[in-house]
Chain A
Amino acid sequence: MRRTASREPGSLTLVLLPLIVAAAVVATTATTPVLGYLKLGTRIGPRTVNIKWSDFPIRYYVTERGTAGVTAQQFQTAISTSFGVWDAVDTADLSAEFAGFTAANPLSGDSMTVLGYQNRPDLDRVLAATNFIIDTQSGKVVESDIFFNTAFPWSTDAAGVPGRHDVQSIAVHEIGHLLGLGHSALGETEVIPGGRRVLGAEAVMFPIAFAAGSIHDRTLKADDLAGITDIYGTTAAQRSHGSISGRVTKNGGGVLGAHVVAFSTRTGALVGGLTLNEEGGYTIAGLEPGPYVLRVEPLDDGDVNSFFDEDTDVDLDFKVQFHDRIVVVPRGGGVRDVDIKVTAK
């Protein structure tokens, strides 16, 4: 995954694009985002497999070089804290361990998971990127590297520094990808010359970041928690959490790429999902039990290729609407056939 950015007055929009790096030793495949609501997947033969780590702790290295305003030690501390943010999710079972500093570069294809800097002024919208090497036989993640683009100014200041991107905020997002999460569409933007401006977002995994200096993305939101619980849920979470699934249809046919948002009237949690096939099927998993209302909108608050392959025929021609039934998520199960009919604009 790579994070791209476009400049705009007072803000910088960031977009993550799926990317899988091929390696000579371990064959890889093209990514096929996504399964569930934002899980990264890859196609192995005829089947699609979610990207998921199976061996814990995930041992990662940090490059021994710093950049302007951030020493290697400060960078490593921010990275460890960011891994800790995900590790601290009590409904998910995962862990990571700092294995040491290394002279190796990220994207090195050396079977080491490395986080570090690269100077890529050519990628003028890319702040950071996450890449995977996957064993095409087993589907296991062999290596995942994250680079931070030193073409942009960085900071690890506790309160953030205006004009500088917060290493921890960006790292939490990228590590979400490293763990197998794709993008959340849970945000609203407006198009302005040169890019998009974020009006609001409620997921660290939203592809477009807040302006430089923001530290909002240091903290996971309900959508992120649901996603990581869906992939790495503890046994207790699997028994206590549930899902909503169904179809979004228009004129009797499925709608591909519709953004379905579940809102808990009890907790205020917002969790989103996408319809991922021609039938308009969607699943929103990792939900706490209780009543939810659903809202469906076109995927028009980010570049479609932040979520799907460029050639995916995502349907944007329908009106935003609410579902007229309260949907109740059971403990440890799913409510199915929650079908929502939308109408063309």
Chain B
Amino acid sequence: MRALGRLACLLAVACVPSAAAAQVYIGPAAPHRGSIEVGGGVTFVPGFDMGSRTADLTTSSPTTRYDLFTTDSSVGDFTGLQARVGYYFSRAISLEAFVRYAQPELSVALSGDAESAADVTATETASHYVFGGSLNFDFRGASFAGDRGVPFVSGGAGYLRELHEGNMLVETGVEYHATAGLKYWLGSGAHRFGLRFEAGLSAREGGLDNEDTRRVQPMVAAGLSYLF
């Protein structure tokens, strides 16, 4: 029994340095080059006014129009979901692909009818997708709470694809975004969950818009990440 006890003790001693060597082989704590971060959450971009347009008729006067009625178009808030996957090129730099989805409501307020038709707001629900990519930079030097909290900035662009109700018509465009935020990891292991918050600006060109213009809107997002 004593001989067996010695053998077990030797094995235990032999195993300790072996285990320590394996940890060193893994390298620095995640994220590191090759780490993957997947996540999802909610996003919010406020709606915007798409402008007014008057349905008017030609009159005998070259300078006067006959107003039949007036329209004021707007799109409601883009409150939706986002899924993303990122690849770390280093502890600080990662590249993400993402998809966002929302169902904004388009509305047209009809008023001022020349023949006193009652004012009405006509609506439809659209589907909003953004398929895009972002380059993220984590400020490791500014991390806190034992490297759990990490501020970051992100910027990127996406393909905007918006479908009118019933998929009757596809409208496409481009989305750009620049955000800053915070990741807070719920642990320190190589595989871990974390919370992510970000806020910034989202610019869009094209899509559902009535006007050929670039619109810059604030955006916020919050979600859960998993790092491995």
Given A295-B69, A331-B169: A320 and B57 within 8 A (CB)? Answer: no
Q: Assess the A320–B108 pair: CB atoms within 8 A.
A: no
Q: Assess the B122–A293 pair: CB atoms within 8 A.
A: yes
Q: Does B168 contact A (CB under 8 A)?
A: yes
Q: Assess the A324–B122 pair: CB atoms within 8 A.
A: yes
Docked complex: A239-289 residues within 8 A CB-CB of B: 261, 263, 265-266, 268, 270, 289
Docked complex: B149-200 residues within 8 A CB-CB of A: 164-166, 168-169
Given A188-B114, A268-B55: A324 and B210 within 8 A (CB)? Answer: no
Which of A40-48, A148-156, A199-207 makes up part of the contact surface?
A: A199-207
Given A265-B73, A293-B108: A188 and B53 within 8 A (CB)? Answer: no
Q: Assess the A268–B115 pair: CB atoms within 8 A.
A: no
Q: How far is the CB of B128 from chain A (nearest CB, A)?
A: 15
- In angstroms, Cα B37 to Cα A91, docked, is 51
Q: Assess the A323–B59 pair: CB atoms within 8 A.
A: no
Q: Which residues of A contact B108 (CB under 8 A)?
A: 265, 291, 293, 326
Q: Assess the A326–B122 pair: CB atoms within 8 A.
A: yes
Q: How far is the CB of A323 from chain B (nearest CB, A)?
A: 6
- In angstroms, Cα B168 to Cα A335, docked, is 8
Given A188-B66, A322-B110, A322-B120: A216 and B169 within 8 A (CB)? Answer: no
Q: Which residues of B contact A319 (CB under 8 A)?
A: 117
Q: Does A330 contact B (CB under 8 A)?
A: yes
Q: Does B56 contact A (CB under 8 A)?
A: yes
Q: Assess the B58–A211 pair: CB atoms within 8 A.
A: no
Q: Which residues of A contact B147 (CB under 8 A)?
A: none
Given A188-B68, A200-B66, A320-B117: A328 and B58 within 8 A (CB)? Answer: no
Q: Which residues of B contact A329 (CB under 8 A)?
A: 168-169
Q: Assess the B59–A199 pair: CB atoms within 8 A.
A: yes
Q: How far is the CB of B47 from chain A (nearest CB, A)?
A: 15
Q: Assess the A328–B169 pair: CB atoms within 8 A.
A: yes
Give the size category of A's interface with B: 35 or more
Q: Does B215 contact A (CB under 8 A)?
A: no
Q: Mark A178-206, 1 if CB is under 8 A from B, else 0.
A: 00000000111000000000111110000
Number of chain B residues close to chain A: CB under 8 A: 36
Q: How far is the CB of A164 from chain B (nearest CB, A)?
A: 15
Q: Assess the A322–B124 pair: CB atoms within 8 A.
A: no
Q: How far is the CB of B146 from chain A (nearest CB, A)?
A: 53
B168 in complex: contacting residue of A188, A265, A330, CB < 8 Å: A330
Q: Does A297 contact B (CB under 8 A)?
A: yes
- In angstroms, Cα B106 to Cα A325, docked, is 10
- In angstroms, Cα B124 to Cα A321, docked, is 18
Q: Assess the B115–A291 pair: CB atoms within 8 A.
A: no
Q: Assess the B73–A321 pair: CB atoms within 8 A.
A: no
- In angstroms, Cα B66 to Cα A268, docked, is 14
Q: Assess the A325–B113 pair: CB atoms within 8 A.
A: no
Q: Assess the A325–B122 pair: CB atoms within 8 A.
A: yes
Q: Does A11 contact B (CB under 8 A)?
A: yes
Q: How far is the CB of B172 from chain A (nearest CB, A)?
A: 13
Q: Does A81 contact B (CB under 8 A)?
A: no
Given A188-B68, A268-B55, A320-B113: A328 and B60 within 8 A (CB)? Answer: no
A324 in complex: contacting residue of B53, B71, B106, B121, CB < 8 Å: B121
Q: Does A210 contact B (CB under 8 A)?
A: yes
Q: How far is the CB of B55 from chain A (nearest CB, A)?
A: 5
Q: How far is the CB of A123 from chain B (nearest CB, A)?
A: 24
Q: Which residues of A contact B122 (CB under 8 A)?
A: 293, 322-326
- In angstroms, Cα B59 to Cα A11, docked, is 12
Q: Which residues of A contact B168 (CB under 8 A)?
A: 328-330, 335
Q: Does A163 contact B (CB under 8 A)?
A: no
Which B residues have a C-beta under 8 Å from some C-beta of A?
50, 53-60, 65-66, 68-69, 71, 73, 106-108, 110, 113-118, 120-124, 164-166, 168-169, 210
- 7 example contacts (A-B, Cβ-Cβ < 8 A) are as follows A265-B108, A291-B164, A293-B108, A295-B68, A321-B118, A324-B120, A335-B166
